[in-house]
Structure formats: structure tokens, C-alpha cells
Chains A and B, each alone.
Chain A
Amino acid sequence: MTDTNLGVAAPETLRAAVWAQFRKHRGAVFGLVVLGLLILFSILGPLVWAPEKLTVVEALKSKNLGPGMSHPMGTDQLGRDQMQRMMAAGKVSLAVGFVAMIIAVFLGTLIGVLAGYFKRLDGPLMRLTDMFLALPLIPLLLVMVMLFRDKLSRQLGPEMGAFLLIVFAIGVTSWMHAARIVRGEVLALKEREYVLASRSIGATPRRVILRHILPNVVSPVMVAATLGVAEAIITESVLSFLGLGFPPDFPTWGRLLYEGLEYMQMYPERVIFPGLAISLTVLSVNYIGDGLRDALDPRIRGR
């Protein structure tokens, strides 16, 4: 019986290879699971857990409760269920973190690649980057909020307006590090033989960049992106604290943390839960980034 199978497995697809490498990184898998749970908690949680809305007087009767059967994470100083607030807050904080990160990474990679690849653009773009690095974030945000908040909230409603404004504000003020890293990487890559070969056979810059440069800068971009998520969540907390962010009845993890600070001594769970959620998100995103970097790097993969 002739067998066409030569004992060699079909060549692994790239995706499968990356996944296989990713799975080897225990921290990354852990991070993925935790982040997945946090996202589920925020998105599906409210469908499962929805305590009925109480009047002020009724709610105040059950204020400052510790974690228990009726309120798994306790209640706050106004008798609002902490778990419900944590879920609503998670949705906002996670969305802000990821969307702001995407904006920052997109801008950073674009500017970094252009500056690194085209010599003529290098000077102006890098000076622009320096300028953004020198911009003080808070006054800039104050100006942005002042100019656009009313207009945006009229068009899109107060929540959506604030969301877009914050995400955009954080995005445009945190792309600089990614741009610098990418530019450095591109400067080194573009002198490599395969890039030179590609150019010598007449490939357009667009093709060279998309085909040869970008896949090779993925790993530094990934690191920058993961750090970006964490930073965006924290920046959002700072903004909410200063009253520049979302309307006050719109919880975010950062805001819950700041609100709980005052009661930390008596009700530590008030800061532990939001603090834990922020830390877990940041930690798991970092681990995922770490795993992705290893998995996407052809030199490490398969070792």
C-alpha cells in the first residue's frame, strides 16, 4: 500500500505557529484569560447582575455595606451597589484604554515609519515629535475640553462626546514614544540586504514598507501598545479626578478608586476592587504583549 504521506506534517500556517508559540508563554495565557474575564464581567455582567434602582432614602439605608450576599462588592456611601458600578465603570475604562491605544499606536507607527524611511521627512516629523513630547498634557487637555466639550456633547450626547474627546486627547498625546522606537527600528531595517534587494528590483516604497518593514517592527510596536493601554486607563482616571473627563454620574475605575480613597481606612474594599481591576488589566495586557512579542518574532518562534 503506497502512502503518499511522507511522515511530514503539512506546513504550519503563520497563525497556528504564532498561537503555538504564544501558548508556551504561561504569563501570556494567564493574561489573556484574566483580560477575557474582565471584559466578560464588564459586558455581560450587567445582563446577569442588575439590582433594582432604589430611591435615595431606601438606598441610604444600605449604605457602606461590606461585601455580602446581596451586594457581592458592598455598597458605597450613597448605598449604590459597588458591583454594578464596577461593571459600568469597566466598560468605559477598557474601551478608553483600547481605543486610545489604537489611536496612539496608529499615529506612532505612521509617523515613525515615515520619518525613518523618507529622509526628507525625518527632520520635520521628529521635531514635531519633540514638540509633542514637550507639550504639558493637562493644560492642553483643558484647552481641548474647553473648546470642544460643549460642541461634542451637543452632537453626540454628554457620554459619547466625553468618550470621543478623552480617547482622542489621550491618543494624540501619547504616540511619541512609539514613533521614536519605530523610527529607530526602521532606520536599521532599511539598510538590510532584503530591503535593498527589494528596492533594487523596483518595488515601490509603499510595498517595501508594507511587506518588509512593518512586519519587522511589530514587536516593538506591540510593547509600546501594551504599555499604552495601561497608561490610557490611568490618564483617564486623572482626567476624571480633575473633572475634565466624564460627567460625575458616569463611573470609571479611576473615578471609583479616587472616590474610595477617602474611605480607605474604614472600607478598604472600596479601593481594593477598582484598584485590583486596574492592576489586573495593566498586568495582563503587559503579559499578553510580552507573549505576542515572542510569538511574532520569527527568531524566537520555534526555538
Chain B
Amino acid sequence: MKLTTALLGAAAAMAFAPAAFAERGADGNVNVLYWQAPSILNPYLSSGTKDVETASLILEGLAGFDEKGVVFPRLAESVPTVDNGGITEDLTQITWKLKPGLLWSDGTPVTSADAKFTYDYCTHPEGGCAQAARYEGIASIDTPDDLTIVITFNAPKPNPYTAFVGGTSPVLQAAQFANCLGAAASTCTDQNFKPVGTGPFVVTDFKVNDVVTLAANPNYRDPAKPAFATMTVKGGGDAGAAARAVLETGEFDYAWNTQINPEQQAQMSAAGKGVLLNGFGTLVERIEMNMTNPSPDLPEGERSTTKHPHPFLSDINVRKALSMAIDRQILVDIGYGAAGRATCNLVPAPDMFASPNTDCITQDMEGAKALLESSGWVDSDGDGIREKDGMPLKLVYQTSTNPVRQDFQAVIKDWWTELGADVELKNIDASVFFGGDAGSPDTFQKFYSDVEMYANNFDGTDPEPYLAQYKCDKIPGPDNQWQGENINRFCDPAYDALVDELSKTADMGERSAIAIKLNEMLTKDSYVVVPLVDRGRLSAASNTLGGAVLNTWDTELWNVQDWFRVK
């Protein structure tokens, strides 16, 4: 509650800011801490968040995402939609118009040729562009005049805001990068370390993996912004030290990704030098139920495959009871504090795609017990463990090694034991668990356990590719080297049909209705996926820094031009 108020305060302050501080460079220096230090300032050559976000101070796209996941124009005059004619009715073409009079930081004009060049740069066959996915499905880019960019897609594209939208696909200056195409890309040190951009700041000095020094861009399109004359982005340390530097010692104005435990959150915030900002994206910590039998008695190659359905988790009543026995709010309090909230949804955001389902939030231990009783799971031999047809309710529960996850395991084991299940815990080194090595029995794809817990999210604002992961043909198995994304081995023809329908639907209202239905088919209708906590991003901002609003849909420094010093 306190944080929300703080956020509102910051937002309100921002609204009045331009009037009060309408002068570029009036507020001196601002110190930003990225504890993972930036190593390159060209997001096309690195997928690291730290690099992409630092680069977004200098380089901009045609549009960006705001803190609600809504597209807003940056270099473009407005956001093209079907209604304003910017997108054709058949969804195969989008037309962007640049703002007139835009200048690069070196004083030359920004033209549509720069955007076309950026596309060529990233899609060069020898280039190995880290953000190639943003330009997927594009047939051609045409530039009828200096301010117009027409993107034509191979097929109807219901979500065309990928190319040139957001911090991961900014526009590069064609003149600067002309000789850096293809294999030469990574050899262009000057360009990659000091790109010429349109953003609010320009690089003055860059010490790789240590510190970036920046100054206000003299040619920034809004003459009153940014309020800060210089900026220092420092790297090094860890999340705890970063939070301390802002909240306790006040050495820094802003620290990125300060994931610390609730105890530390409370303790550090008490120092009163700053606040923790939280923002919720799509990262959900969940328990996945295995629909296939992971028994080690089965021969290798048949374990956890669709050949053998799970002996008891294929019974929906068991899955539902296991979900009902969990008190999600307690998990949030233990593990995440302000950086988490209880959820029943696999797709918790953006709002238009999130199901209003909150059935699971309240723990119902008695209900869960009754459900098991009524479906034949009773403790017949008095050992505290329920059986049905001679089969005990015995689970192996695995996750990666991580202090919060081990706390969750301990607490959930207590609840499930109370419910009458025998739970064996297992934790696996994260590099092995998420490593995807087809030879290891301990990967989350192989799923050699009954239930497992981890977190996953989707990129951008459109959940379609994410929900499509649960189609029958995405089930991991020995025939596809265990590389499928349908970890639960969930298979429902009705679900597959609905996903196919989603890929053909353009209307946003219908898309959201279908996405919500798909999400519910996986969660409250079947309990195949048991979402626990919606995990937010947590960053720290000093009380003397105004205007910082955490954004989980784009880079955290998305509105740095609006930052100012509170006096």
C-alpha cells in the first residue's frame, strides 16, 4: 500500500515537473547503478538487459511501451492502428510517419532511410543479430519519402508492434553504421561503444563493464529535457549492495533490479533515503503438474512421456486439492514482499489479457481434504498418507536451488503433508535444471518428478506465442531431444483449436477473450498449471529523484527524459 502511494506520488510529481523545471541540464548529475555492468551499447549485439537498457538512454525506437504495456510514439508522429489507417485491413502492412525535424545527436537529420538501414543491419545473414525476432515475418521495408516507413509482412500480423518498438529494436544511424554490416558488426568498436542516437543522452565516456558517462543530448527533440546535464551509469556489486547504495547510504539515485528479501526490504526502506519501486510484468512462479508417469521403474525413454499417463495426477481432483491447500499470500510474504502478489493466472498481465479469476487466493484446507475424501482418496492404514486402490499419494517435488524456492518447498510440503500426501523434496542446481541438456535427467523439460516449480514469462505484451506452448505437438520427449515447451505434457484438442483461432483473430477484444479462456483452461478449469506468485520487478529510487516510474514492458529507463531532481 505504501509503495503504491509512493508510486502515485511520483507520478503526480512527474505531471507537474515540466512546469517547475523547464530547462535542459538544470539539475546537475544523476547517478544510476546497474549492478550487472553494461558491456556494449548496441542492443543488436547483446540480449543482456543491462546492455539494452543502458543503450536505451541513447538510442530510441519509433515507439515504446509505457508502464501499462500501451504503445506510445517516440520518433513516430503517432502510433499506427487499423482505425487511423496506419495498418491495412488485412493486417499485412503498417505505415509509420516520423516526426518532422528530428535530429541525431550529431546534428544530422533523422530519415526513414535510417530505419530501413537498421532492418538491413539486423537481418543481415552474416550478422547474428541478437534481436532478430523483432524483425521476423517482415517481407520488405519501403521508404516512399524521408519521413514514411512502410513495413510489409509475409502474412497477416495481429501484433505488428515488434520492429522499431521498444528498447530492444531502436533505430541506428545509417551514416555511422554503414560499414558495420554483417560479419563486420562486432568489429565496429567505436560505433558499438559510442552510438549516435536520438535519445535524451549521449555517451561521453564508456569504460567497458564498469562505468558509462553521459551528457544531455544537445539536439534532443524537446528543448526543455532532460533536466539532468550529466548521467553516470555505474556497474558492479549485487542486488543487495545496490539497494543499500540507494536506500541506506544514498550514494546513488537509482538502482536497477534490487531483488532482496522482504526482511531486507523493510529494513532498508526504514532508513528513509529512498523508496522501492515495483512493477508487475508477466513473470509467474508456478507449480507444474506432470500429466505423465515419471516413475524410475519405467525404462529410459518412456519415463515422463505420453506413453504412460500419471497414476494419480491425471485425476483432476488431486490436482485441484493440491492447489486448494496452498495459501499464496503467505508465500508472497515469505519470499517477495512488495515484489510479489498472489495470482491464479498464468497470464497475469497486461490487464486486457488477464483473467479476473481469483478462486485460488483463499486457502481451503478443509475443502481440499473433503474433495480428496469424496473422490476416493482416504487414509485407510492410518499412516497419515492417503491411498486409493492401494496406491499412496506420494509426490516428488523438484525445483532449482534458490533460497526463496527452498523456503516455498518447505512451506508447501507442510501444507501437502497436512492434506495427507507424502512429499519428497529435491533441489537441482539452476544451471543444470534450466540447462536443457538432453543427456541430463535433472532438467525441467525432462520433468522426472511429479510436480516442479519455477517461473516463466513472455516477451512483449502479446501472450499468443506463450499460450501456444501448451499445444499437444509441443510436448517434450525423446523424439525431439526433450526440447518442447509443453512441460506438463498437457494435451487437449479443444485447447489446440482455440490457439489456432487466436492466431487468426485480429480484433483486440476477441483476442483478449480467447487468451483469457485459454489461460483458464490451463489453470482453474484443469489445475494443470498451478500459479503461485506474480513476481514483479523491484528497483530502488532515491527520494531526491523525481519522475522515475518502473516499466516492465520496455526498458526501465524508458522515461529518463522526464527525471528531475526533487529540491
Contact = CB atoms under 8 A, between A and B. Distances in A.
A146 B441 CA distance: 7
B186 interface: no
A77 B263 contact: yes
A146 B433 CA distance: 12
A96 to B, nearest CB: 18
A150 B428 CA distance: 13
Interface in B459-479: none
B264 interface: yes
Interface string B369-407: 000000000000000000000000000000011010011
A168 interface: no
B410 A243 contact: no
B429 A64 contact: no
Contacts of A146: 440-442
Interface string A258-285: 0100110110000000000000000000
A242 interface: yes
A249 B409 contact: yes
Contacts of A142: 429, 432
A274 B206 CA distance: 44
Given A55-B418, A259-B403, A266-B267, A249 B428 contact: no
Contacts, number: 70
Contacts of B425: 247-249
A241 interface: yes
A92 to B, nearest CB: 15
Nearest to A154: B296
Contacts of A56: 327, 330, 411, 414-415
Nearest to A151: B296
A158 B415 contact: no
Interface in B429-450: 429, 432, 440-442, 448
A57 B411 CA distance: 9
Interface in B288-328: 296, 327
A244 B264 CA distance: 28
Interface in A112-157: 142, 146, 150-151, 154
Contact of A78 (B400, B411, B432, B442): B411
A78 B413 CA distance: 13
Contact of B427 (A60, A243, A265): A243
A125 B344 CA distance: 61
Interface in A213-249: 241-244, 247-249
A107 to B, nearest CB: 27
A51 to B, nearest CB: 15
Nearest to B240: A262
B427 A248 contact: yes
B334 interface: yes
Contacts of A154: 296
Contacts of B401: 241-243, 248
Nearest to A259: B403
A57 B413 contact: no
A247 B330 contact: no
A56 B327 CA distance: 10
Contacts of A248: 401, 406, 409-410, 425-427
Contact of B410 (A55, A244, A249, A265): A249
Contact of A150 (B296, B400, B403, B407): B296
B261 interface: yes
Contacts of B418: 55
Interface residues of A, number: 26
Interface residues on B, range: 20 to 34
Contacts of B263: 64, 77, 263, 266
B424 interface: yes
Contacts of B426: 158, 247-248
B36 to A, nearest CB: 19
Contacts of A249: 409-410, 413, 425
B445 to A, nearest CB: 15
Nearest to B267: A266
Contacts of B296: 150-151, 154
Nearest to A245: B427
A259 to B, nearest CB: 6
A63 B217 CA distance: 51
B193 to A, nearest CB: 36
A185 B441 CA distance: 45
B266 to A, nearest CB: 9
Given A56-B414, A146-B442, A154-B296, A77 B334 contact: yes
A111 B460 CA distance: 61
Nearest to A80: B410
A158 B424 contact: yes
A257 B267 CA distance: 21
Contacts of B411: 56, 78
A281 B263 CA distance: 31
B410 A57 contact: no
A269 B427 CA distance: 26
A269 to B, nearest CB: 14
B443 to A, nearest CB: 11
Nearest to B430: A243
A242 B427 CA distance: 9
Interface in A50-106: 55-57, 60, 64, 77-78, 80
Contacts of A158: 424, 426
Nearest to A249: B425
Given A158-B424, A243-B427, A150 B441 contact: yes
B483 to A, nearest CB: 19
A61 to B, nearest CB: 11
Contacts of A265: 264, 267
Contacts of A57: 327, 330
Interface of A: 55-57, 60, 64, 77-78, 80, 142, 146, 150-151, 154, 158, 241-244, 247-249, 259, 262-263, 265-266
20 contacts: A56-B327, A56-B411, A57-B327, A64-B263, A77-B261, A77-B334, A78-B334, A78-B411, A146-B441, A150-B296, A150-B441, A243-B401, A243-B427, A247-B425, A248-B406, A248-B410, A249-B409, A249-B410, A259-B403, A265-B264
Interface of B: 261, 263-264, 267, 296, 327, 330, 333-334, 400-401, 403, 406-407, 409-411, 413-415, 418, 424-429, 432, 440-442, 448
Closest 6 A/B residue pairs (Cβ)? A243-B401, A243-B427, A248-B406, A248-B427, A243-B429, A247-B425
Given A243-B400, A244-B429, A249-B425, 18 more contacts: A55-B418, A56-B330, A56-B414, A60-B330, A142-B429, A146-B442, A154-B296, A158-B426, A243-B401, A243-B427, A243-B429, A248-B406, A248-B409, A248-B426, A249-B413, A262-B403, A263-B261, A266-B267
